[in-house]
C-alpha cells in the first residue's frame, strides 16, 4: 500500500525502534528524577540522549527542553515567551506583540489567537507571497512600524502543507535588528533539510520525533540559555524549571537515535526524495495537465522540501479525491480541515492568495524513507480516473 503521508507521521526508523525497545525493558525501569541506582541509570540515558540530540541539532545540551511533542513545544514557546515579555514590560508597559505567519500549523495559529483573545496580546499577521514565503523586507517593515513594543515573531522553517522553505537566517537577522525574539516550528524541516539551531540564530525552535522516524509523543523546544519562558506545566520543574513532568527515558533515547540517523542519512535521503518528488510531479502533470503545483516550484532544497508535492485540482473537492485514492490503497492527505463533514478551504492557500474554490480541491503527497518509484507509479495510474470521478461527483451535487 503506497503510504504518501510522511508529513503527518513517519514509520519508525530501525535505530529508533532498537533504542525504544531496549529502554522499555524491565531492567531499564527507573524514574530519571529518582536518586536510587535505577533512577541514576535512567538519568544517564536521558542526558546522553540530550547530548546526542544537541549534536544532531547544532545546539548545546542545555538548550534542549524535552516535551511531549511539537504541539506542546509550540504552545510553550508562544505562551511562555509572551508571558515572559509581558512580565518584563511591567503593568504600565505596552502589551507584547505577536507577529505570526498566517500559513503556520494550527499549533502556532490557534495559540496566537488564544493569546490575543484571552491574554491581551497584540496579534499582527505577516503577509506571505504566492509561494507561501515570508519576506525579510516585510518583516523588517512590520517591526519598524512598532519600534518600542516587545515582540515575538513565529515563522515556520518549512510549510507542512505546500513545502515552501522560509529564509530563516535572513528573517532572524531582520528581527534581531529590532530586538525581537524569533521562534520557528522546524518540525517539517528536520530530516529533510540541514537544521542547525546555532547557525540559524533562532531564539526558540520546535522539533518532534515522529516526523523523522521516532516515536509519537516525544519532542523538544530548543531555547537559548538567556530565555526563561513562563511554564505551562507546574510540578517538578524537571526541564530547566520550564517544563514539569516525568521524563520519558525510552522516548528520549529513541528521539536521539532517530535524529542521529536523520542527520547521518540526510544527503542521500534528500537527493532520493527530490528525485522521487520530481517524478511524482511530472506524473501528475501528465495525467492531469490542469493540476496546479502549489508552493515553490524550484528544484533546489532552498525552495521546497524534498519530499513534498502539493497540488490544487480545479473542479474537485479534496476530500473526495482523498477517499477515491484511499479506495485504491493510496494514502495521502488533503491539507484541508474538515469540520462536521464540510470541507473547508486550506488556510495556507487562502493566505497565499488562492480562491476558496481552488483551496478546497487540494492533495498533499509527502514522501519519506519507505517511498519508492512503485508508489509514484501507483499514483500515476490512479490520479486521472480519481479526478474525473471527483469532478463528476461535484457536478452532481
Residue positions annotated with a catalytic role = 338
Radius of gyration of the chain (CA): 22
For residue 252 the three cell numbers come to 528520549
Spatial distance between the Cα atoms of 233 and 345, rounded to a whole number of angstroms: 34
Across the chain, which distance is largest between two alpha carbons, in Å?
Answer: 69
Which residue, 125, 89, 85, 120, is CA-closest to 104? 125
Spatial distance between the Cα atoms of 132 and 109, rounded to a whole number of angstroms: 15
Rounded to 5°, angle at Cα 45 from 39 and 46:
90
Q: Find where cell 492531469 sits.
A: 288
Spatial distance between the Cα atoms of 29 and 35, rounded to a whole number of angstroms: 13
Amino acid at each position: 500500500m503506497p503510504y504518501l503521508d510522511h508529513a503527518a507521521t513517519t514509520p519508525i526508523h530501525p535505530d529508533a525502534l532498537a533504542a525504544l525497545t531496549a529502554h522499555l525493558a524491565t531492567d531499564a525501569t527507573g524514574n530519571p528524577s529518582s536518586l536510587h541506582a535505577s533512577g541514576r541509570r535512567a538519568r544517564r540515558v536521558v542526558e546522553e540522549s540530550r547530548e546526542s540530540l544537541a549534536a544532531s541539532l547544532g545546539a548545546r545540551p542545555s538548550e534542549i527542553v524535552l516535551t511531549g511533542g511539537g504541539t506542546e513545544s509550540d504552545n510553550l514557546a508562544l505562551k511562555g515567551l509572551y508571558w515572559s515579555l509581558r512580565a518584563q514590560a511591567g503593568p504600565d508597559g505596552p502589551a507584547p506583540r505577536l507577529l505570526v505567519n498566517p500559513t503556520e500549523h494550527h499549533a502556532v495559529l490557534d495559540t496566537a489567537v488564544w493569546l490575543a483573545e484571552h491574554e491581551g496580546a497584540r496579534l499582527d499577521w505577516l503577509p506571505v507571497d504566492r509561494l507561501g514565503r515570508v519576506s525579510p523586507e516585510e518583516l523588517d517593515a512590520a517591526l519598524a512600524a512598532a519600534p518600542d513594543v516587545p515582540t515575538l515573531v513565529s515563522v515556520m522553517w518549512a510549510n507542512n502543507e505546500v513545502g515552501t522553505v522560509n529564509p530563516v537566517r535572513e528573517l532572524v537577522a531582520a528581527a534581531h535588528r529590532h530586538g525581537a525574539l524569533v521562534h520557528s516550528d522546524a518540525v517539517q524541516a528536520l530530516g529533510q533539510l540541514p537544521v542547525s539551531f546555532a547557525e540559524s540564530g533562532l531564539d526558540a525552535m520546535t522539533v518532534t520525533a515522529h516526523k523523522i522516524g521516532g516515536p509519537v509523543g516525544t519532542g523538544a523546544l530548543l531555547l537559548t540559555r538567556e530565555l526563561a519562558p513562563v511554564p505551562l506545566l507546574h510540578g517538578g520543574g524537571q526541564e530547566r524549571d520550564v517544563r514539569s513532568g516525568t521524563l520519558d527515558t525510552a522516548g528520549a533515547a529513541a528521539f536521539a537515535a532517530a535524529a542521529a540517523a536523520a542527520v547521518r542519512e540526510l544527503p542521500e535521503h534528500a537527493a532520493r526524495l527530490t528525485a522521487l518528488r520530481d517524478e511524482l510531479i511530472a506524473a501528475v502533470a501528465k495525467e492531469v495537465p490542469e493540476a496546479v503545483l502549489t508552493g515553490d516550484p524550484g528544484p533546489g532544497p532552498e525552495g521546497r522540501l524534498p519530499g513534498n508535492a502539493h497540488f490544487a485540482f480545479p473542479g474537485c473537492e479534496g476530500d473526495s479525491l482523498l477517499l477515491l485514492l484511499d479506495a485504491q490503497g493510496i494514502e495521502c492527505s488533503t491539507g484541508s480541515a474538515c469540520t462536521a463533514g464540510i470541507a473547508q478551504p486550506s488556510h495556507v492557500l487562502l493566505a497565499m492568495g488562492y480562491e476558496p474554490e481552488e483551496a478546497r480541491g487540494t492533495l498533499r503527497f509527502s514522501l519519506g524513507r519507505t517511498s519508492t518509484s512503485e508508489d509514484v507509479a501507483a499514483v500515476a495510474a490512479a490520479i486521472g480516473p480519481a479526478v474525473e470521478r471527483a469532478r463528476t461527483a461535484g457536478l452532481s451535487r
